[in-house]
Amino acid sequence: MSQQYALKEVKGDAVCFVPGSPLFSVLMEPASFCYPRLTFLRSPYGQFGASAGSSQDLAPWPQRLVTQRWTGPVDESPPAAMSRNGYFFEESGYLKCDTDDGCEAKEETGGEELFDAVNSSIVSGDSIRFFVNVNLEVPPNATAENESAGCVLLHTSRKYLKLKNFEEEVRAHRDLDGFLARASIILDETATSLDDVLREMLKHFAEDPENMEPSCNFEKIMSTLFTDSGTPREGNVHLLSDTIQGVTATVTGVQYQQSWLCIICTIKSLQRRHVCISRLERPQNWGENSCEVRFVILVLAPPKMKSTKTATEVGRTFATMFSDITFRQKLLETKTEEEFKEALVHQRHLLTVVNQRPSAMSDGHKSHSPKPLKLHEFLNVGKGISDDIARRLPVYALDFTDGVIGNNKAIGKYITTMIFLYFACLLPSIAFGSLNDENTRGAIDVQKTIVGQCIGGLLYALFSGQPLVVLLTTAPLALYINVIRGICDDYNLDFSAFYAWIGLWNSFFLVMYSLFNFSLLMKLFKRSTEEIIALFISVTFVLDAFKGIIKVFKKYYYHGRTGESYLEKARTDAIPSLGINTTFLMNSSVSRSMSLENQTGTHDVHYGRETAVLSLMLMLGTLWLGHTLYQFKKSPYLHARVREILSDCALPISVLTFSVVGSYIFKEIEMSKFNYNPSESLFVLAPVQSLSIGSVMSAMGLGFLLSMLFFIEQNIVASLTNAPENRLVKGTAYHWDLLLVALINTGLSVFGLPWIHAAFPHSPMHVRALAYVEERVENGHIYETIVSVKETRLTSLVANFLVGLSLLLLPFPLQWIPKPVLYGLFLYIALTSIDGNQLFERVALLLKEQTAYPPTHYIRRVPQRKIHYFTGLQVLQLLILCGFGMSPLPYMKMIFPLIMIGMIPIRYNLLPRIIEAKYLDAMDAEH
């Protein structure tokens, strides 16, 4: 049968009458009336398109009128359509016309990009074809065949990609340089279908000797580019699998840039990345959102690539360049490949220059030349303290009520954090108290350390500006106390008096630092410097643990063999005539141990290898269980809230578990425990008047060095606690907190209690315990991001109060905690503290293959070699710091705070001579 249908024209829009067949006819005559928009027709069985625009835009279209066939079901009663606001609306829903009502197409010279930014919805496949006269023959069984056809599911996923920053991301330039070196450019491609264009591009790859892939099947690559690769026959939906296109979000919807298309694909058989750009001779309509394609960019890459070298990243480079309509117009005007390459190079230069100015202020970058500090900022006495109080005082009451009163209650999180913080404060106090007890021969013992921790912690929790910071006595302070004891022994000085004077001078200097706003100097400490010091503290924890376990092995394992030989000889001498095989007796735990009193004569020490082996097991077991539970929140087991509780309580659970194992399950094996000497009076004033003037002046020098340690540790730990990624909102108080620490340590010094200052990593761990965290995935890498933190004083108050109550638990049950469990605690603290430490992450990169590199900001912005140079220089600074801080020479330990200060000129004066300042800033960025 043959049918012919007339067209009806309406001023301003086009209306077509659709017959009882899906075939339709559209006549476009620009001379008769104006088409204000591109109009697309859609039916439930398929999609059809007709074009409109200005009469000038549509001039070339009547010469391309051909026919397209459709074999869909027939509706005998076609709906009527009417024109309304640029859309075709139909009453029954069988015919729909979509346009972007707010889209205004940009006109280009020669009409080459007529519809460059149009929101469209049309059929994919060959070009849309128009006709006037239609001869239609419909088989009688067409409807039945289509109804019985199988249905498949098509998964569509869209995500936004950032435009590549050519000024910051070094890979953008390298991608273009690699393409220019082996350029695959096809100019004025005559093929009209997408399949034919892609075949020509792959053929160009195959014939190019510089892009040869001997083991690659290009026909297989061709099929991989589309969704019907590997699908059943009834699922032959021929659409592109992975593309990148430019879009713009508007009030009326999303506008697509339809003159270019970037197709990306990952192929296992490839050896390297390939890029081909094809410029079509005439615009082609290839379906949905691609109705006027002039440029096709094909990117192929192997799957095992560095995160910045994947097909998506290479495609993002070229897509960023082609998103500029002016650049595309220049490419249309090029005549040769050389002109095409020159246009690419020129566009790269433009993108780099355009991005230079805004990039300096973006992404939280610090300028490599910091704002110079003015002298008057330090002479304005007390301004920093007053500013801190004015900032924190208005929210002081909220520090007690947040999470307790109101809608967002967090009582459960507070309880688990209190338990964690109690053990995190108590156990280091026991460990360092035991160490100070040995170093000072009982002048500062476990009992005094716990008392000092309780008093100082409570005062700081009540009056500090940043209550999430945790005060503790630390390993560097234990080193200082040991050195002070040695000086007192060398010069016959009273330890308590000399210790008190050093503490008083230290507090005096800290008060001066706070009054004269010296905390402003912390602006000079970059993130890399802070991380070196943080990693140094973690290393000290590890070394303390290994020193302790080595002492255990020397005392029990090797000396145990000597004791065994002595015992065996004694038994042989005692029973020479019995002829009894004593091997079995020697192998038993009872006969193999020998009791000898130690130097203090307070308890028995049993020599035996069982003690050394069990100590090692307890230390590693505490580390293993603690870290396993800490990471348990990432596992799929149990409920999310249960996982969070187990993770927050990882430290107390592991310590209690292996304390029971060491003290109860293996109670027949003697374990090393800390000494407990009950003091008659905990609060005895030091005889400060007993020292001579010369001794007091020498104490001033040591107090100044100690104040440098306090100043750096207190401010750096506070800075790490207030890091931008922690999302704290109540403000900082560096000057006030420094003054408060000075006043607290004044009281501790005169009563002979151990000093305390901000502790790492306990303070960041305290923040983490009070944080709400969510996981995000980027390029297969999982990141944890803090959403919010409950800033409260209650956790520190309760935890330190419980530490004070722990005096009632001395000597038992606290003495049931074996020393190896405390060593395991040190390892646990060190291991958990390196989470998020960029220096450690970059050291780990040296051991990873490039495909496992995370897509961090510095990986994108800094060449790999520069990253490794910077890491090596940081490790060198860390080794120098460790060399001074852990030197066997006592006076070397006293000056390592000056080494920390010396890192500032190294960062600002030496490193920029080795690595460009922009790369240093990228690696020091605060994110």
Model pLDDT, residue 122: 35
Angle at which helices 819-833 and 609-630 cross, to 10° = 30
Q: Taking 50 as the threshold, does the pLDDT of residue 857 lie above it?
A: yes
From the list 848, 729, 854, 711, the residue with the least C-alpha distance to 792 is 729
For residues 207 and 628, which has the higher predicted lDDT (pLDDT)?
Answer: 628
Residue 147 to residues 42, 77, 123, 141, 377: CA-CA distances in angstroms?
19, 19, 20, 10, 82
Mean residue pLDDT of the chain comes to: 76
What is the full DSSP assignment across 837-854? -HHHHHHHHTTS-GGG--
Q: Which residues pair with 87 in a beta bridge?
A: 84
Model pLDDT, residue 607: 53
In eight-state DSSP terms, residue 226 is B
Model pLDDT, residue 358: 44
Q: Taking 80 as the threshold, does the pLDDT of residue 534 lie above it?
A: yes
User: How many other CB atoms sit within 10 Å of the CB of residue 473?
Assistant: 27
Q: Taking 80 as the threshold, does the pLDDT of residue 60 lie above it?
A: no
Burial 722-749 (b: 16+ CB within 10 A, else e): bbeebebebbbbbbbbbbbbbebbbbbb
Model pLDDT, residue 748: 95
What is the full DSSP assignment across 644-685? HHHHHTHHHHHHHHHHHIIIIITTTS----------S-S---
Q: Taking 50 as the threshold, does the pLDDT of residue 686 lie above it?
A: yes
- pLDDT tens digits, residue range 368-388? 445 677 777 888 888 999 999
Q: Taking 50 as the threshold, does the pLDDT of residue 191 lie above it?
A: yes
For residues 217 and 916, which has the higher predicted lDDT (pLDDT)?
Answer: 916
- Give the pLDDT mean for 257-279: 88
Model pLDDT, residue 392: 93
User: Which token pair is 848?
Assistant: 């990873």
For residues 220 and 57, which has the higher predicted lDDT (pLDDT)?
Answer: 220
| Helix spans in 751-907 (H) | 762-769, 794-805, 819-833, 838-845, 857-861, 864-885, 890-894, 896-905
For residues 543 and 33, which has the higher predicted lDDT (pLDDT)?
Answer: 543
Model pLDDT, residue 158: 82
Residue 236: pLDDT band with limits 50, 70, 90: low
- Give the pLDDT mean for 33-37: 37
Model pLDDT, residue 419: 93
Provide the 3-class DSSP secondary structure of residue 3.
strand
Model pLDDT, residue 377: 81
Burial of 59 (0-12, 13-18, 19+ CB in 10 A): middle
Q: CA 142, CA 162: separation in Å to the nearest integer? A: 47
Q: CA 818, CA 674: separation in Å to the nearest integer? A: 8
- Give the pLDDT mean for 809-837: 87
Residue 31: pLDDT band with limits 50, 70, 90: very low
In one-letter notation, the amino acid at residue 362 is: S
- Give the pLDDT mean for 249-267: 87
User: Which token pair is 157?
Assistant: 């996923």
Residue 133: HSE in the Cβ half-sphere, 13 Å Cα cutoff? 2
- pLDDT tens digits, residue range 348-370? 888 888 655 444 334 433 444 45
Q: Taking 60 as the threshold, does the pLDDT of residue 726 lie above it?
A: yes
From the list 293, 273, 296, 271, the residue with the least C-alpha distance to 282 is 293
Model pLDDT, residue 496: 92
Residue 779: pLDDT band with limits 50, 70, 90: low
Q: Taking 60 as the threshold, does the pLDDT of residue 601 lie above it?
A: no
Q: Taking 60 as the threshold, does the pLDDT of residue 148 lie above it?
A: no
User: Which of 39-48, 243-252, 672-681 has the weakest average pLDDT?
Assistant: 39-48
Long-range contacts at 228-236 (CB < 8 A, ≥ 24 apart): 231/152, 232/150, 232/152, 234/149, 234/150, 234/151, 234/152, 235/150, 235/152
User: Which of 179-188, 580-589, 714-723, 871-880 has the weakest average pLDDT?
Assistant: 580-589
Q: Taking 60 as the threshold, does the pLDDT of residue 737 lie above it?
A: yes
Rg (CA), the chain: 38
Percentage of the chain exceeding pLDDT 90: 27
Residue 231: pLDDT band with limits 50, 70, 90: low
Residue 40: pLDDT band with limits 50, 70, 90: very low
Q: Identify whether the C-beta of residue 733 lies closer than 8 Å to the C-beta of residue 468.
A: no
- Give the pLDDT mean for 275-287: 90
Q: Taking 90 as the threshold, does the pLDDT of residue 758 lie above it?
A: yes
pTM: predicted TM-score of the whole model, two decimal places: 0.69
User: How many other CB atoms sit within 10 Å of the CB of residue 196?
Assistant: 12
Q: CA 688, CA 501: separation in Å to the nearest integer? A: 7
For residues 890 and 478, which has the higher predicted lDDT (pLDDT)?
Answer: 478
Residue 82: pLDDT band with limits 50, 70, 90: very low
Model pLDDT, residue 449: 93
For residues 27 and 435, which has the higher predicted lDDT (pLDDT)?
Answer: 435
**Residue labelled with tokens 């394609």:** 293
- Give the pLDDT mean for 407-424: 90
- pLDDT tens digits, residue range 557-598? 886 554 444 344 444 443 343 333 433 333 333 333 333 333
Model pLDDT, residue 468: 94
User: How many other CB atoms sit within 10 Å of the CB of residue 265?
Assistant: 21
Q: Taking 60 as the threshold, does the pLDDT of residue 6 lie above it?
A: no
Q: Identify whether the C-beta of residue 367 lies closer than 8 Å to the C-beta of residue 925.
A: no
Which of 366-380, 544-558, 740-754, 894-908 is the most confident on average?
740-754
Q: Taking 80 as the threshold, does the pLDDT of residue 515 lie above it?
A: yes
For residues 107 and 329, which has the higher predicted lDDT (pLDDT)?
Answer: 329
In eight-state DSSP terms, residue 374 is P
For residues 917 and 736, which has the higher predicted lDDT (pLDDT)?
Answer: 736
- Give the pLDDT mean for 523-535: 86
For residues 426 and 241, which has the higher predicted lDDT (pLDDT)?
Answer: 426
For residues 264 and 927, which has the higher predicted lDDT (pLDDT)?
Answer: 264
